[in-house]
């Protein structure tokens, strides 16, 4: 990539022009689309959409597994002047019904099995349903009649709905500029090239997952979409397709690190990326052992601003718990309770990656999207993350905890992550989740849920050696598996809800 990323945003569909005609762009199970094929298919899809939904800015939803339609529709909808609403295939009918109604979708493209699960009242009367197979077969041949769009890059391109683990899903509004510059930024700092092959295992309804496609395509590389059932499926795909780039969230990395990797699955890997939660030191070392030649990129992000920071792979061994520094195009500030710049405080994200707010939700938008602090060079609207971080003397950031997740126990303000890190560091717990439950005497009592082979007495003894008295769990619960939300992250809200 160039020495400095291009800061000029473009309409999202222009990413379809980035690759060379004969090179592979999308490697499906039974078919590979070259870049020339991808361009033709995006044009055909856009022409079909423009005819089916002629109103510019209308919402088009997709609900299906990773495949030709779900991978290409973000570009095709953009070219047709429509707003794409990708729905996580793991969601059930009630959540899908909410997203369709809330977004005001005029069209839903989904496979037959998913459409059959919807009841009559789940789909708004104005929303037309088209089965995915019929959509693809109806595109026809030829070059397609939809040319590159000339849309305002700051117009709305997509609405990404959160998983809904803390209530009904809310839609984050992303512009063409948000998505384009996010792709440029990631492709730049990952140093992606035309010969890169990305295994897309994350949900495409997830900003991190969608960027698997966009950043790779911005670099002119190719993507292998995979809906995996087991970690072995991921390893087999890495070997079969000579994968160079693999992105995952911590629960999946834990599973992958527990597997035996063949040399043909490891040998071509150039980079690993992580977001959606911190990597613990033992896991970092395990991944470094499995992939000695690959660069490891720990990252921090939030859907409302896509991605905020990444840690330079050269610093992973010496600063394994850091979330790094700002990615290109992001201005990251640490602000204290008085609104002043500080070394310890709330992470505030400014710059062109900041989303446009929550769809049809001005109240929650006003809470999270507020004027940038006076110290901001970029100004404008900023995302006030609600996450507490600290910055060291070298400018590296460290995640402390979410303000709404901090445990207030006997007058002490406690980070759940500190307890979780200590539990995992004992070697008795593979995964750990800590939170506070109401207690009439303490305010909150610490509840710790762990997955591992240890026992209560051994874990408690180890924690007594590592943590002060006020950070000792009142309750320890052992589970065989941690529940995951639709984006593959540990479902902390469900664990807490079940414990209260």
The domain spans of the chain are 12-315, 406-499
In this model, does residue 427 exceed pLDDT 80?
Answer: yes
> CATH for 12-315, among 1.20.1740.10, 3.30.70.270, 3.40.50.12780, 1.25.40.10?
3.40.50.12780
Greatest C-alpha distance within the chain: 72
Architecture (CATH level 2) of domain 406-499: 2-Layer Sandwich (3.30)
Given this model, what pLDDT does residue 1 score? 60
3-state SS class at 470: helix
Given this model, what pLDDT does residue 361 score? 93
In this model, does residue 403 exceed pLDDT 80?
Answer: no
Contact 423, 432 (CB under 8 A): yes
Q: Measured in Å, how far apart are the chain's first and last C-alpha atoms?
A: 50
User: Within a 10 A sphere around the Cβ of 191, how many other Cβ atoms?
Assistant: 12
pLDDT bin (cut points 50, 70, 90) of residue 441 is low
Q: Which residues have CB under 8 Å from 54's CB, separation 6+?
A: none
pLDDT bin (cut points 50, 70, 90) of residue 281 is confident
Q: How far apart are CA 215 and CA 235, in angstroms?
A: 22
Least confident of 64-73, 142-151, 480-489: 142-151
Most confident of 209-223, 387-401, 483-497: 209-223
Q: Are strands 197-200 and 222-225 parallel, antiparallel or unpaired?
A: parallel
In this model, does residue 163 exceed pLDDT 60?
Answer: no
pLDDT bin (cut points 50, 70, 90) of residue 69 is very high
Q: How far apart are CA 405 and CA 411, in angstroms?
A: 15
Select from 390, 454, 381, 446 the least CA-distant residue to 413.
Answer: 446
Count the helices and strands in the chain (H runs, E runs).
15, 25
Q: Beta partners for 369?
A: 383
Rounded to the nearest 5 degrees, what angle is found at the Cα of 170, between the Cα atoms of 277 and 82? 110
pLDDT bin (cut points 50, 70, 90) of residue 75 is very high
In this model, does residue 95 exceed pLDDT 90?
Answer: no
Contact 264, 235 (CB under 8 A): no
Given this model, what pLDDT does residue 93 score? 85
In this model, does residue 166 exceed pLDDT 70?
Answer: no
Q: How far apart are CA 449 and CA 467, in angstroms?
A: 17
Rg, Å, the chain Cα set: 23
Given this model, what pLDDT does residue 305 score? 95
Average confidence (pLDDT) over 217-239: 97
Q: How far apart are CA 306 and CA 330, in angstroms?
A: 10
Q: Model confidence over 4-61: pLDDT tens digits?
A: 899 999 999 999 999 999 999 999 999 999 999 999 999 999 999 999 999 999 999 9
DSSP 484: B
Given this model, what pLDDT does residue 143 score? 74
pLDDT bin (cut points 50, 70, 90) of residue 165 is very low
Rounded to the nearest 5 degrees, what angle is found at the Cα of 82, between the Cα atoms of 50 and 119? 90
Q: How far apart are CA 414 and CA 419, in angstroms?
A: 8
User: What does each C-alpha distance from 495 to 276, 284, 421, 438, 480 come to in angstroms?
Assistant: 17, 25, 18, 14, 13
E strand residue ranges, 270-330: 271-274, 295-300, 309-310, 325-326
Given this model, what pLDDT does residue 230 score? 94
DSSP H helices, 296-375, are 362-368
User: What does each C-alpha distance from 380 to 156, 259, 473 come to in angstroms?
Assistant: 18, 47, 43
Q: Model confidence over 206-223: pLDDT tens digits?
A: 999 999 999 999 999 999
In this model, does residue 443 exceed pLDDT 80?
Answer: no
pLDDT bin (cut points 50, 70, 90) of residue 164 is very low
pLDDT averaged over every residue in the chain:
93
Given this model, what pLDDT does residue 454 score? 79
């Amino acid at each position: 990539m160039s020495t400095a990323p291009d800061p000029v945003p473009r309409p999202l569909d222009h990413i379809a022009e980035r690759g060379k005609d004969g090179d592979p762009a999308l490697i499906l199970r039974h078919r590979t689309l070259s870049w020339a094929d991808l361009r033709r298919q995006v044009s055909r899809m856009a022409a079909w959409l423009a005819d089916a939904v002629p109103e510019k800015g209308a919402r088009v939803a997709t609900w299906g597994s990773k495949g030709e339609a779900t991978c290409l529709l973000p570009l095709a909808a953009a070219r047709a002047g429509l707003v794409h609403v990708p729905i996580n295939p793991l969601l059930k009918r009630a959540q899908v019904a909410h997203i369709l109604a809330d977004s005001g979708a005029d069209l839903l493209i989904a496979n037959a099995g998913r459409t059959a699960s919807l009841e009559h009242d789940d789909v708004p009367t104005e929303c037309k349903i088209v089965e995915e197979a019929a959509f693809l077969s109806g595109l026809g041949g030829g070059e397609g009649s939809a040319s590159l769009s000339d849309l305002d890059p700051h117009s709305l391109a997509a609405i990404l709905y959160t998983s809904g683990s803390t209530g009904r899903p809310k839609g984050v509004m992303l512009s063409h500029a948000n998505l384009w510059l996010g792709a440029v930024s990631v492709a730049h700092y990952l140093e992606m090239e035309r010969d890169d092959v990305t295994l897309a295992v994350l949900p495409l309804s997830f900003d991190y997952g969608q960027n698997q496609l966009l950043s790779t395509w911005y670099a002119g590389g190719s993507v292998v979409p995979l809906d995996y059932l087991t970690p072995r499926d991921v390893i087999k795909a890495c070997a079969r397709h000579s994968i160079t780039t693999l992105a995952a969230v911590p629960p999946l990395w834990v599973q992958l690190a527990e597997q035996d990797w063949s040399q043909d699955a490891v040998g071509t890997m150039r980079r690993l990326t992580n977001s959606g939660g911190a990597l613990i030191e033992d896991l970092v070392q395990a991944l470094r052992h499995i992939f000695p030649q690959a660069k490891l990129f720990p990252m921090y992000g939030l859907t409302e601003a896509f991605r905020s920071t990444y840690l330079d792979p050269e610093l992973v061994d010496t600063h394994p718990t850091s979330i790094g520094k700002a990615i290109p195009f992001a201005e990251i500030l640490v602000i204290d309770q008085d609104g002043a710049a500080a070394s310890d405080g709330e992470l505030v994200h400014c710059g062109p990656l900041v989303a446009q707010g929550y769809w049809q939700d001005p109240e929650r938008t006003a809470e999270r999207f507020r004027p940038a602090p006076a110290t901001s060079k970029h100004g404008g609207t900023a995302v006030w993350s609600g996450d507490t971080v600290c910055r060291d003397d070298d400018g590296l950031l460290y995640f402390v905890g979410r303000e709404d997740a901090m445990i207030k126990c006997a007058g002490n303000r406690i980070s759940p992550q500190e307890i979780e890190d200590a539990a995992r560091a004992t070697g008795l717990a593979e995964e750990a989740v800590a939170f506070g439950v109401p207690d009439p005497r303490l305010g909150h009592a610490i509840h710790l849920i762990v997955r591992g082979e240890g026992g209560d007495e051994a874990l408690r003894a180890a924690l007594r050696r590592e943590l002060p008295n006020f950070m000792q769990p009142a309750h320890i619960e052992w589970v065989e598996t941690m529940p995951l939300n639709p984006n593959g992250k540990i479902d902390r809200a469900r664990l807490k809800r079940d414990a209260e």
